[in-house]
Structure 1
Amino acid sequence: MRRILLGAAMAAMLAAGGVAPAFAQGNPFQPLVYVNDSVVTRYELDQRMRFLQILRAPDGDRASAEQALIDDRLRLFAARQMGIAASDAQIDAGLAEFAGRANMDVEEFTRALAQAGVEQQTFRDFIAAGVVWRELVRQRLVPQVQVSDAELDQEMQRVIETPRITHVALSELIIPAPPGQEAQAMRLAESLVQSVRSEADFAAAARQHSATPSAENGGRLPWAPLENLPPSLRPIILSMQNGQISQPLTVEGAVVLFYLRDSRGTLRPGAKEQVLDYVRFRLASTAEANRIAALSDTCADLFVHARNLPPEQIQRQTLSQGQIPTAEAIRLAVLDDNESTIVSQGGSAEILMLCKRQSALLAGNAQEAPVPVTAEGEEGAAPDPDALPDREQMRGQIFSRKVGQAADNYLAELRANAIIRRP
């Protein structure tokens, strides 16, 4: 999706013949902000704003562009403190990767920037700051980040409890973009993304700007199975929340916006079933049971107190809810992990402690089914949509998210400790 939008933005920029000046001309080398031992000039801010406008970035206003330059100075400052510098080869690779998002090589991308008044050095400085920051994060932050099995189980449980979307209620807004008017259509779409705050806003915009019969009905489309949508559109819709407008999507001769009014879904089969790991410990008296329960914080603690007792007095079982006797199941239903209850049985008593409660799917360690491959190497049947994601892939996603959060926190710390002043 990002590649599509970047390519569309570059095409729109070329069609428009450049971008408007960022702000009134002045002394280009006038210092605007001092950041520790470096300075941000008026010229650099002008260049960064033009660059962000070309990319159709939502943070292309003056304040956001200035903050981005300040943050780049902080990234470079922290990298120098650690002896990290970007090599020419690393920067060149970064330039090629970024230009490739717009389906261009570096020369084509640089030429397109020049047509809009953005110098190659501005592009190079932008990439260099990103290169050294990634290396700093790799050296300083990545070794500190770990994903525990408990975190992984929690994320897997969230996946299990999240309904799989099967039907969606969409509204559409199709803006005509005939040859030569692509940039104008994109600008209108982007302004609508910024201004639409509700279904009523979208409906009003559709009635005014959309070129399809649904415009009369505010762009409303009937409920539709997700599988009926084009495969390329499904991930875009699945990434949206109810009540959210999509980013502009370019198609031949038009720019398209969608509004997700509502969605319906179903849980995976077996998602509500639970497996309980619990201990039953029989003792001679209620007083003794209360004493041991008060001293035991985990199921393992109970076995310490059962030392030298006949093994039949203490049992640990892992059963599905349907396999547990009703009386025990009722008492276990109100317990959290490592919580216990005492069951009096005439003169004797029993400790029931819940060790762990988890989804039957998670307990079964369900994995994403591999795509079957035929002898000729062609894909066979599609993977089971009810299967859970691969645990290690999920661990990698959590790890990447935590690294991103750690990087944001470290940048905020650098910002708080920096000497930032204006002349």
Structure 2
Amino acid sequence: MTQRSISNANRKGRARAGLKTLSVAAFVGLAAMTAGTSVLAQQGSPFSTVLKINDAVITQYELDQRIRFLTLLRIPGDPVESAMKGLTNDRLAAIEAKRVNLRLTNEQIEAGMSEFAARANLSAEQFVAAISEGGVAAESFRDFVANGLLWRELVRAKYGSSISITEAEIDRAIATGTRRLDMQLLLSEIVIPVEGDPSNALALANQLRRDITTEAGFASAARRYSASPSAGRGGRMDWVPTSEIPAQLVQLVLALGPGQVSPPVQLPNAVAVFQLRDVIEDTTAKPPAVSVEYAQLMLPNTPSVFAEAETLANRIDSCKDLAAEARGLPQDRFVTEKKPVAAVPQDIALELAQLDPGEYSAALTRGGYRVFLMLCAREPQLESEGQAINRDAVRAQLQSLELEAQAGVWLEELRSEAIITTP
């Protein structure tokens, strides 16, 4: 894939209504929460059943409330589809919680509501008042939070004790965090204006997503329907770094293959769809400073030295083990150092760049010796002295990711075992 340079001045100087108006977080402040953004599902009695999961039901009222709530939060994707999926997951969780006799206390639910509201810098009372202006009842918000908490407790109870994060996994996570994962995206956009009820715009966006299979087709639709300044260019945008795009949209777009079109994304007064045209690594951002700790054991450079190095590597797993092997040798035969990468000799730095902690290289020589070079650790270089990486926090994050993966598999199992019918 070809690397391309980007002019920040040119990129930022162009209007990108879709990306620049999307909320960075999944929550918006009081000013954005207005009744005009609400959307209703199919009309019918509010107490009619729209879906049945085993003996539990989802009513039209619950579906309407969840759609309104997701719309106010401006969650990417089709709010009707997301609402139905979310409510179905809630019922599956509730059925399982009843089976194992798991219940939440009022204190747990209230704490969860406060935590959720705090993400929008509001108290729970302020958040409830804000969403009420958009037609969302306090009970619907409470149910949303309670169901999320219930599922989390179920997952922790089922998988929490079985997940063990090793020190090596923490080391790899820390090392990975020092490597550049930024990318640049080449997108096209169609921004459909909305005045009041966005249902028609959402319907059009979903139709475009189904019908468009080529870049030419997307460009034609952009010229016809898009209100963005990019419409005259067939919706084509310049290269944009992922760091400048809200995280939710990045996830949505990176799930696409080249030429595919995203689900609808709700923006203030608009609905948008995006087509991914290309993606490359972002080489424009400044890489993070990194420090490395490494050990060097000098081995006599005999014809059998590589076999000896491999035998040694099979006996040890870490720099601590290597230090034990070097015990009793002259001081200059075994050295450990920790330095910023910029201060490491270039030949050593190039070898270390190819290693994970605990791996070795025997490619270098020094003064008649073959260097057994082992990487001990690779870490972000801290800005101030005395700081340390919080390994417990890294461990907790890895556990959370593992729980999330296990939860996804379990939820699909519950869904496949349930009897789900529509009236």
TM-score normalised over the length of structure 1: 0.60
Please tell me whether the aligned partners of residues 191 and 228 of structure 2 are also in contact (alpha carbons under 8 angstroms): yes
**Aligned residue in 2 for 1:19:** 41
**Aligned residue in 2 for 1:373:** none
Q: Structure 1: how far apart are the matches of 2:421 and 2:148? A: 25
Please tell me whether the aligned partners of residues 6 and 101 of structure 1 are also in contact (alpha carbons under 8 angstroms): no
Asked whether 1:280 is paired with 2:270, we answer no
- Identity percentage over the alignment? 25
Per-residue deviation, 1:312: 4.7
Q: Structure 2: how far apart are the matches of 1:300 and 1:132? A: 44
Compute the RMSD of aligned alpha carbons: 5.6
Find 1:161's aligned residue among 179, 183, 187: 179
**Aligned residue in 2 for 1:296:** 315
**Aligned residue in 2 for 1:382:** none
**Aligned residue in 2 for 1:377:** none
Find 1:211's aligned residue among 219, 227, 250: 227
Q: Structure 2: how far apart are the matches of 1:28 and 1:19? A: 12
**Aligned residue in 2 for 1:134:** 152
In the alignment, structure 1 segments of 5+ residues that lack a partner are 371-387
Distance 1:249 1:209, change over 3 A: same
Alignment of 1:364-379 (within 5 A): 365-367=380-382
Q: Structure 1: how far apart are the matches of 2:223 and 2:310? A: 73
Alignment of 1:153-192 (within 5 A): 153-162=171-180, 164=182, 169-178=186-195, 180=196, 183-189=199-205, 191-192=207-208
Q: Structure 2: how far apart are the matches of 1:304 and 1:92? A: 55
Please tell me whether the aligned partners of residues 352 and 375 of structure 2 are also in contact (alpha carbons under 8 angstroms): no
Please tell me whether the aligned partners of residues 190 and 248 of structure 1 are also in contact (alpha carbons under 8 angstroms): no
Q: Structure 2: how far apart are the matches of 1:58 and 1:224? A: 24
Per-residue deviation, 1:315: 1.2
Please tell me whether the aligned partners of residues 128 and 138 of structure 2 are also in contact (alpha carbons under 8 angstroms): no
Counterpart residue type for residue 227 of structure 2: A
Find 1:84's aligned residue among 90, 102, 117: 102
Please tell me whether the aligned partners of residues 362 and 371 of structure 2 are also in contact (alpha carbons under 8 angstroms): yes
**Aligned residue in 1 for 2:218:** 202
Per-residue deviation, 1:209: 0.6
Please tell me whether the aligned partners of residues 95 and 106 of structure 1 are also in contact (alpha carbons under 8 angstroms): no
**Aligned residue in 2 for 1:356:** 375
Please tell me whether the aligned partners of residues 277 and 318 of structure 1 are also in contact (alpha carbons under 8 angstroms): yes
Per-residue deviation, 1:137: 4.1
Q: Secondary structure at the match of 1:406?
A: helix
Q: Secondary structure at the match of 2:103?
A: coil
Cα shift readout 1:263-289 (whole Å, capped 9, x = no counterpart)? 643364577997643322449995995
**Aligned residue in 2 for 1:400:** 400
In the alignment, structure 2 segments of 5+ residues that lack a partner are 1-22, 72-76
**Aligned residue in 2 for 1:376:** none
Distance 1:58 1:304, change over 3 A: same
Per-residue deviation, 1:208: 0.9
Q: Structure 1: how far apart are the matches of 2:365 and 2:131? A: 78
Q: Which has the higher contact order (CA 8 A, sep 6+)?
A: 2
Cα shift readout 1:61-103 (whole Å, capped 9, x = no counterpart)? 59x94x7556434423443455431334544565677789899
Counterpart residue type for residue 3 of structure 1: F
Per-residue deviation, 1:210: 1.7
Please tell me whether the aligned partners of residues 292 and 375 of structure 2 are also in contact (alpha carbons under 8 angstroms): no
Counterpart residue type for residue 278 of structure 1: Q
Q: Structure 1: how far apart are the matches of 2:375 and 2:250? A: 32
Q: Structure 2: how far apart are the matches of 1:60 and 1:350? A: 69
**Aligned residue in 1 for 2:18:** none
User: Rg: which structure is higher?
Assistant: 1
Please tell me whether the aligned partners of residues 3 and 101 of structure 1 are also in contact (alpha carbons under 8 angstroms): yes
Alignment of 1:139-150 (within 5 A): 141-142=159-160, 145=163, 147-150=165-168
Q: Structure 2: how far apart are the matches of 1:237 and 1:68? A: 19
**Aligned residue in 1 for 2:17:** none
TM-score normalised over the length of structure 2: 0.60
Per-residue deviation, 1:200: 3.7
Please tell me whether the aligned partners of residues 49 and 60 of structure 2 are also in contact (alpha carbons under 8 angstroms): no
Q: Structure 2: how far apart are the matches of 1:100 and 1:225? A: 29
Distance 1:412 1:296, change over 3 A: same
Q: Structure 2: how far apart are the matches of 1:421 and 1:255? A: 31
Alignment of 1:237-386 (within 5 A): 240-241=253-254, 245=262, 248-251=265-268, 254-255=270-271, 261=277, 262=279, 264-266=282-284, 268-269=286-287, 276-282=294-300, 286=304, 289=308, 293=312, 296-298=315-317, 300-301=320-321, 309-312=328-331, 314-318=333-337, 337-339=358-360, 352-356=371-375, 362=379, 365-367=380-382
Q: Secondary structure at the match of 1:367?
A: coil
Please tell me whether the aligned partners of residues 192 and 270 of structure 2 are also in contact (alpha carbons under 8 angstroms): yes
